[in-house]
Amino acid sequence: MKASSTATRARGADFDAIVVGAGFGGLYAVHKLRDGLGLDVQAFDSADDVGGTWYWNRYPGALSDTESYCYRFSFDKELLQQGHWKSRYLTQPEILDYLSGFADRFDLRRSYQFGTKVTAARFDESAGLWNVTTDKGRTLTAKYLVTGLGLLSATNKPPFKGIDGFKGETYHTGAWPEGIDLAGKRVGVIGTGSTGVQVIIALAPVAKHLTVLQRSAQYVVPIGNGPESEERINEYKAQYEAIWKQVKESAVAFGFAESTVPAMSVSEAQRERVFEDAWKRGGGFYFMFATFSDIATSPEANAAAADFIKRKIAGAVKDPDTARKLMPTDLYAKRPLCGTDYYDVYNRANVTLADVKADPIAEFTPTGIRLQSGAEHELDVVVFATGFDAVDGNYTRIDMRGRSGVTIREKWKEGPLGYLGMMESDFPNFFMILGPNGPFTNLPPSIETQVEWISDTIAHMERKGARTVEPTQAAEDEWIAACRTIADMTLFPKAQSWIFGANIPGKKNAVMFYMAGLCNYTKALNSVKESGYGAMIFD
Ligand code: N01
């Protein structure tokens, strides 16, 4: 521990804090705790370098769908002015490069042990320390455990019958190896979520033949990507103060002002014009939240947006049968998707759409995939764009135990809990970045907000000389109930998606997000702090 440290090293501890993860969250946590509070920090990541989500998701077409100017940290004004990008949206290599530069800037790699998976974390009540075990067989102790495991990092690869006998290659988009060349191959893609849409757009011009195995049709709007001029970038830089103020005072934190106009308060012609303008501008969250105020809350407004997109699908796709299969049948209430000319992909001669809801995947054969009808798709490569065991999946894969040996699996058997999206009763001195029941937004601004709150809470503890902190059960219950009430005011729980755990067979449907926006979330955090942390137990 450094001379400037605010912490008194807990007796017998190897470190003050252990941080898990080297994505946006973990990197910033190491910087704040080590350089800000002067704690002695040891960090781990199972990858061989920094990047987190952006280290693993190297699939063709991987892109952030938040605009480049606000898919970054805001706290470092100099770094903001040094920012450089080419297009309206950042590609995966650019984001990885940004995070690598961030790690260099603050010399963060020296605190990490890479290529190391944390397999267990147990709280030792008598010592008041976390015992963290890695796959290298070491167990280290620390007073604080901070996890930045990522919302979406435990991959979901459905165990299809016959998969082991498939002679071709299979890849999950969330664990994509470097240097895979799919040119000239017969490729099948399972999944049409955010990832599937990106990988399908990228592979269609490359593959010899692309077969899209679609279970649920999705609403996809244009992303509106294109080069960004130096002049435009300089304009953003000149306005950064106002931009970040707006981002942090907004709900979804995507850099645009959310609409305050209900869809049915304007004429049909005006509504059509607003949707058309948003379609031309591009952006999935923009279409859902900047057109009208109630697309995600009013069935009527939602139907108007859905109907507009369906008409666009009908207009874009030449083959009526394919267009019919691409028409979503449910609400427009999953995470909004966007991509460049997505529906035009299906006009290509080398692309086939298989509706695997109507005719489900029966099994993999040695040479491809057979559907229940007996139809066979001959494939060299199958890409699993089948998503993630989101939010809690990363935690339940670690043997995590809190007070009295209670496991996180037991605590979360009815669905993941989480006070303020960061803490958990019975798990003292444990802070999750993007844990369950945190905000549903463009992630870097929420990550920043959470890491700063964690750092402030730890500083408060150290000033108090407290040994442990955890939320009261009542505060946690109240937060979860509030998240449920807020979610039920939206249409999101009515659609089947990972946001409520519906994508994993057997996973309990649960509220996993605070859906009242970053602005209200920050107010909630501030009120906990300003009330003297009354909702927490300090020991
Ligand atoms: O995963 P998903 P994702 N048989 O769960 C299908 C973020 N992200 O990786 O809808 C057949 O959304 C499944 O079908 P269905 C973003 O937050 C961000 O695409 O369940 N199909 C669905 O089509 C996003 O929301 C960016 O019927 C099966 C797909 O697989 C989140 O990651 C880019 C199946 C899974 O879709 C997750 O997106 C990419 C089965 N057994 C991702 N099992 C950015 O732009 C699943 N499917 C920043």
Q: For a pocket test of ligand 1, which of 447, 503, 509 has the largest count of ligand atoms closer than 8 A to its C-beta?
A: 503
| 57 Cα to the center of ligand 1, angstroms | 13
Q: Which amino acid is at 180?
A: I
> Can you tell me which atom of ligand 1 is nearest the CA of 158?
41
Say if residues 224 and 254 touch (Cβ distance below 8 Å).
no
- pLDDT surpasses 70 at 534: yes
Predicted local confidence at residue 1, as pLDDT: 41
| 25 Cα to the center of ligand 1, angstroms | 22
Q: What is the pLDDT of residues 370-399, one digit of tens each?
A: 999 999 999 999 999 999 988 888 999 999
Output the average pLDDT for the chain: 96
- pLDDT surpasses 60 at 2: no
| 329 Cα to the center of ligand 1, angstroms | 17
> Can you tell me which atom of ligand 1 is nearest the CA of 192?
23
| 191 Cα to the center of ligand 1, angstroms | 6
Q: What is the pLDDT of residues 281-300, one digit of tens each?
A: 999 999 999 999 999 999 99
How is 29-43 classified by DSSP, letter by letter? HHIIIIIIS---EEE
Q: In whole angstroms, give the CA distance from residue 370 to residue 318.
A: 26
ipTM for the whole complex: 0.99
And the tokens for 105? 């800037």
Predicted local confidence at residue 216, as pLDDT: 96
Predicted local confidence at residue 244, as pLDDT: 98
- pLDDT surpasses 60 at 278: yes
- pLDDT surpasses 60 at 3: no
Q: Which band of pLDDT confidence, cut at 50, 70 and 90, is reported for residue 500?
A: confident
Say if residues 54 and 472 touch (Cβ distance below 8 Å).
no
Residue nearest to atom 44 of ligand 1 (CA): 64
Burial string for 492-519 (b: 16+ CB within 10 Å, else e) reads: bbebbbbbbbbbbeebeebbbbbbbbbb
Residue nearest to atom 43 of ligand 1 (CA): 386
> Can you tell me which atom of ligand 1 is nearest the CA of 174?
9
- pLDDT surpasses 90 at 230: yes
Q: Which band of pLDDT confidence, cut at 50, 70 and 90, is reported for residue 5?
A: low
| 146 Cα to the center of ligand 1, angstroms | 27
Quote the strand ranges of 47-154, DSSP E: 63-67, 89-91, 112-113, 118-124, 129-134, 139-147
Q: For a pocket test of ligand 1, which of 94, 153, 211, 215 has the largest count of ligand atoms closer than 8 A to its C-beta?
A: 215
Residue nearest to atom 12 of ligand 1 (CA): 193
Q: Which band of pLDDT confidence, cut at 50, 70 and 90, is reported for residue 10?
A: confident
| 194 Cα to the center of ligand 1, angstroms | 6
Residues 6+ apart with CB under 8 A from 221: 278, 279, 282, 283, 284, 287, 309, 312, 336, 337, 338
> Can you tell me which atom of ligand 1 is nearest the CA of 386?
30
- pLDDT surpasses 70 at 4: no
Q: Which band of pLDDT confidence, cut at 50, 70 and 90, is reported for residue 474?
A: very high
Which amino acids bring their CB within 6 angstroms of ligand 1?
A: 63-65, 152, 158, 190-196, 198, 215-216, 335, 356, 361, 385-388, 498, 503
Q: Which long-range contacts (CB under 8 A, 24 or more apart) does 405-409 make?
A: 405/122
| 220 Cα to the center of ligand 1, angstroms | 13
Residue nearest to atom 48 of ligand 1 (CA): 64
| 285 Cα to the center of ligand 1, angstroms | 16
112 in helix, strand or coil? strand
Q: For a pocket test of ligand 1, which of 163, 353, 386, 507 has the largest count of ligand atoms closer than 8 A to its C-beta?
A: 386
Q: Which band of pLDDT confidence, cut at 50, 70 and 90, is reported for residue 506?
A: confident
| 253 Cα to the center of ligand 1, angstroms | 22
Q: Domains in the chain, please, with CATH?
A: 15-154+389-533 (3.50.50.60), 190-384 (no CATH)
Closest to 173 in 3D by CA, of 265, 280, 70, 58: 58
Mean pLDDT of 106-121: 98
Mean pLDDT of 195-219: 98
| 48 Cα to the center of ligand 1, angstroms | 25
Q: What is the pLDDT of residues 59-77, one digit of tens each?
A: 999 999 999 999 999 999 9
